[in-house]
Structure 1
């Protein structure tokens, strides 16, 4: 259960102190009444000035029986200070002040009853001191538990980062030892085919394969560097593709492709990368599943939306059986979703295939 707000709690304490004044103070004795009212009103500043508040309540203890305000001030002082010697002195002052009845003090230490009254008054003063110290200890314990929880959360984060760094290192090693090695073999074989073949088309295809293999190796090296230096010094990344690289992508694809772009103004870099990757994935699928087919890439701007449509006709020769896990289209959907767009794809009526991308463009320069 949550504690009541501090102003409300202060108002309750002041009201209780005023009720104590109403019960014990007498209007015929203005000095006693004024001291009791001063003590009750002083509780308003008990949190900001606990020592001053306790001192302001002492006249009421010496002159009247309205001691609730002094007990409340003593409790507040005990809950906020760590000076136990001061608390002992304050409790002793309250005890002695409550036994004295100014302006005519009268108590006899020879009477046994005075010791009973002294013990009762000392216990009354000790109660708010112990309660305040208990509240302070509970507050310190809660703070310490919160620090321990934060430390454990930070430790869990460090452990997760360590595991992630280890996995990235393993992935980088696998990419370097397996993928990069195989791509290197492809580049070497393509270079040998380019030199040894007498067919111009075969030499051109081999040159394209070799160029793409070298480019893939460069990208793999940068990716391996990024993975291996995870959490360390920043690594210079390769330039990200843009709309200016689309024509080269189409020329290197080996597919007869018509490119139509109508984009007034500039397009944000994330949108440009999404368009590039969409066209790249679409052309890759054409090579794999529709060899010999012609493709059309249409990119246009409509209101606040960029639309990309890549359409290809039916294959003109049998498709090769190549491994695939459909991760490319899934990745396109995820990339488009992060940018607030959508990706749709499916077969066309003439036996071809169409891939479309729609992305919002809110700002143009």
Structure 2
């Protein structure tokens, strides 16, 4: 099937109609571009002028949809028009077709047409002057330049500006897309950090509440129930206070709520004492000399959270026995290792979501460290070991979401 040409653009129809009506008006009043006595006029009379006029007007309909075909056809029509008395309408429509061929044509046409029209203008200037040796011969080159080179150059300038504007628009869209991607990634990363903080801050208290409430319900002893209720109340109050402070910061409500201070390694003693109060037999050992300099804040926070989550997991899953917490500075990194008895319990003492191990691994990887967790064997039986190596040099300063929210940053 033959491919149908697209419909002409509305403005092209107006240009064709305007050029044709203007040419007919000039033809009606007898105004041409040449006299009948000129040697170049081969077709004398008024009627031969109409054929190039109608052909050029038809080419105007194709100035956007088929600009190269329109220009080639109009060139033939203009050549025929030069052999008649000529029409100013045909000449003006030809200049518009040259302009449109450069503006709407292919990139190759936009490059070649200005060079071709420039070469034709030079030849139209040099050849007549060399043949006739009169200054008036230079006017032929000027006329050819106005009809061909001037509209071609104008079309090239407009096309370059249009391409530059389109490239700027595309760059702006790309920049906006990249900014949106960065914003989305920042939000996702911030939500992941907030999820780790919420889990580490609340899971310990809720696990203790679940375990001691189970003991209070299962053991028929007023003294045991009283002790369990005391632990439940203490963990409830502490967990509720931490949640209120964190929610107040996230809502930016101000008031009497103080920012939650980021925990450090100095708070490990209190953390271990809290675990002992919840029923764990915990032993803390540290080998941190001051010769290596202070531990960077991101590393200290990650180590504290890893120990906190490991103690929470031990409270929920460990078998009876001693839990050991060891921190040591080795080979430019802070090594955190927590071991607990493993293998003799039928099920967890409190339900868990499995997000704790994911959070510890994420904290370690954000600092460029290594993380391992799994069962191990020793002379005293099966153990569950959690080990993280956190680099102390060139530590990634991962922002604490709680502090970031307190400063008014993204939450």
What TM-score do the two structures reach when normalised by structure 2? Answer: 0.47
Q: Does 1:296 align with 2:319?
A: no
Separation of aligned partners in 1, 2:331 and 2:230 = 42
Alignment of 1:184-199 (within 5 A): 199=223
Equivalent residue number for residue 357 of structure 2: 329
Q: 1:236 offset after TM fit, Å? A: 6.0
The answer to whether the Cα contact below 8 Å between 1:341 and 1:357 also exists between their aligned partners in 2 is: yes
Equivalent residue number for residue 272 of structure 2: 250
Q: Does 1:351 align with 2:373?
A: no
Q: 1:325 offset after TM fit, Å? A: 2.4
Residue from 250, 269, 280 that aligns with 2:297:
269
Structure 1 SS opposite 2:390: strand
Q: 1:261 offset after TM fit, Å? A: 0.8
Q: 1:124 offset after TM fit, Å? A: 5.2
Structure 2 SS opposite 1:283: helix
The answer to whether the Cα contact below 8 Å between 1:314 and 1:352 also exists between their aligned partners in 2 is: yes
Separation of aligned partners in 2, 1:317 and 1:144 = 65
Aligned residues: 238
Structure 1 SS opposite 2:358: helix
Residue from 156, 178, 193 that aligns with 1:131:
156
The answer to whether the Cα contact below 8 Å between 1:293 and 1:312 also exists between their aligned partners in 2 is: yes
Alignment of 1:102-181 (within 5 A): 106-108=134-136, 116-123=140-147, 125-126=149-150, 127-150=152-175
Once the two structures are superposed, residues 319-344 of structure 1 have per-residue CA deviations (whole angstroms, 9 ceiling, x without a partner) of 55522222111111111111111222
Structure 1 SS opposite 2:329: strand
The answer to whether the Cα contact below 8 Å between 2:342 and 2:375 also exists between their aligned partners in 1 is: no
Extract unaligned runs of 5+ from structure 1: 1-90
Separation of aligned partners in 2, 1:324 and 1:214 = 21
Q: Does 1:259 align with 2:284?
A: yes
Alpha carbons of structure 1 residues 204 and 243: separation in structure 2 relative to 1, 3 Å: farther
Equivalent residue number for residue 218 of structure 1: 241
Structure 1 SS opposite 2:363: helix
The answer to whether the Cα contact below 8 Å between 2:285 and 2:327 also exists between their aligned partners in 1 is: yes
Q: 1:212 offset after TM fit, Å? A: 2.1
Extract unaligned runs of 5+ from structure 2: 1-117, 396-411
Structure 2 SS opposite 1:246: helix
Alignment of 1:89-108 (within 5 A): 106-108=134-136
Separation of aligned partners in 2, 1:339 and 1:327 = 19
Moved more, 329-338 or 319-328: 319-328
Q: Which has the higher contact order (CA 8 A, sep 6+)?
A: 2
Alpha carbons of structure 1 residues 141 and 285: separation in structure 2 relative to 1, 3 Å: closer
Residue from 382, 393, 407 that aligns with 1:362:
393
Separation of aligned partners in 2, 1:198 and 1:256 = 24
Q: 1:285 offset after TM fit, Å? A: 1.8
Alpha carbons of structure 1 residues 158 and 281: separation in structure 2 relative to 1, 3 Å: closer
- Cα RMSD of the aligned pairs, angstroms, is 4.5
